[in-house]
Structure 1
């Protein structure tokens, strides 16, 4: 199938089906948050909006890129998030690339947010919807981030058929600039396990769909049948 792979600056029209990719780390973190009990994730356009949403809704939490900051409850790191308990909570997320990409296509009829940890379920969900050509939004480095492009291409191949070897795509992601920067501790809000956690294929059994709920763009997990889940890479 003729999928499209674009960076955020290349988005000119509203796609019919969009899959927004951020491997390191926004949509790996989002998946971990759902696994720790988060009910929904509200995507914010600015840190100020994230804090305002949190302050106006009792019990909501806020997460951002970078180092810990006043008012924020978590940072954009799967390693730091994996032991948290968020049962039933709402998380407001603002990151440099992932949330920006999702908000850029928020008006599309179908928007999924993805990374390697939900790659297989995302592909199976797209097949179950008989979705036509997919626009993959490669959020990092204006569409040039190899970890995001590798994940997008892997999901695209799995939409088109089973039996795709994840190893070459994971290798590309592991060799990316983002992975090197994370491994060297050059990004704030970092845990030493972040790179490995971002490269686990099909860690979680759900896809993640973003929809408009009133004035908010809300990300929720979507159950997907586990019909062709491969072993983890």
Structure 2
């Protein structure tokens, strides 16, 4: 498999297959939302768009980065989300990096959103689809986020059938700037278990596929 690892700003053309990686925390949170029963996740362009979608669909659940805010029921934290009952609900998600990255490649023929908790399922889907050319979008820190790059490289190896030892990749993520900021309370809207939950390899058996549906970028779980 020909794999390329790019930051959002480095995307100069539409890739055929894109894997958008946000470990801490957007696509760990998305996986938890599906595990808690969510039917779909709508990726919003902005906070205002998220609130507008919520206004049109009062039964939808809006979620954002940072501290709680009016109109948003939840924040972007797996530790805070894991006790929520989202059975049959639609979640509207807007984050700093992950949702931005997914929307940047919305015209790709296949868009997967990934983190360590869905790594093997993501790699399996790439193998099943026989994807020869894959662009991994490293969303955090202008493409320099070590946790996202480590996860992307791990998934790329697994998609190639390489029996890579996950420990080193997880260690890189644990030692990342994002992990430190979450642990030290630099970021808001954080649960003490967030970093540990983001480093749970293959917690869930599904991949997450995003596609345009009536002008909205919609994320759904996909069991291979």
Give the aligned partner of residue 169 of structure 1: 169
Distance (whole Å) between structure 2 residues aligned to residue 40 and residue 29 of structure 1: 13
1:58 Cα shift? 3.2
Distance (whole Å) between structure 1 residues aligned to residue 170 and residue 32 of structure 2: 19
1:164 Cα shift? 1.7
SS at match of 2:125: helix
1:162 Cα shift? 4.3
Q: Does 1:145 align with 2:145?
A: yes
Q: Which runs of 5+ in 1 are unaligned?
A: 225-233
Distance (whole Å) between structure 2 residues aligned to residue 185 and residue 86 of structure 1: 27
Residues matched between the structures, number: 224
Give the aligned partner of residue 186 of structure 1: 186
1:172 Cα shift? 0.2
Give the aligned partner of residue 122 of structure 2: 122
Moved over 4 A (4+): none
Distance (whole Å) between structure 2 residues aligned to residue 185 and residue 205 of structure 1: 31
Give the aligned partner of residue 202 of structure 1: 202
Give the TM-score normalised by structure 1. Answer: 0.95
Q: Does 1:13 align with 2:18?
A: no
Q: Which runs of 5+ in 2 are unaligned?
A: none
Give the aligned partner of residue 90 of structure 1: 90
SS at match of 2:180: helix
1:34 Cα shift? 0.2
1:118 Cα shift? 0.1
Give the aligned partner of residue 100 of structure 1: 100
Give the aligned partner of residue 64 of structure 2: 64
Distance (whole Å) between structure 2 residues aligned to residue 36 and residue 73 of structure 1: 15
Distance (whole Å) between structure 2 residues aligned to residue 83 and residue 179 of structure 1: 22
1:133 Cα shift? 1.7
Contact 2:157/2:163, CA 8 A, preserved across alignment: no
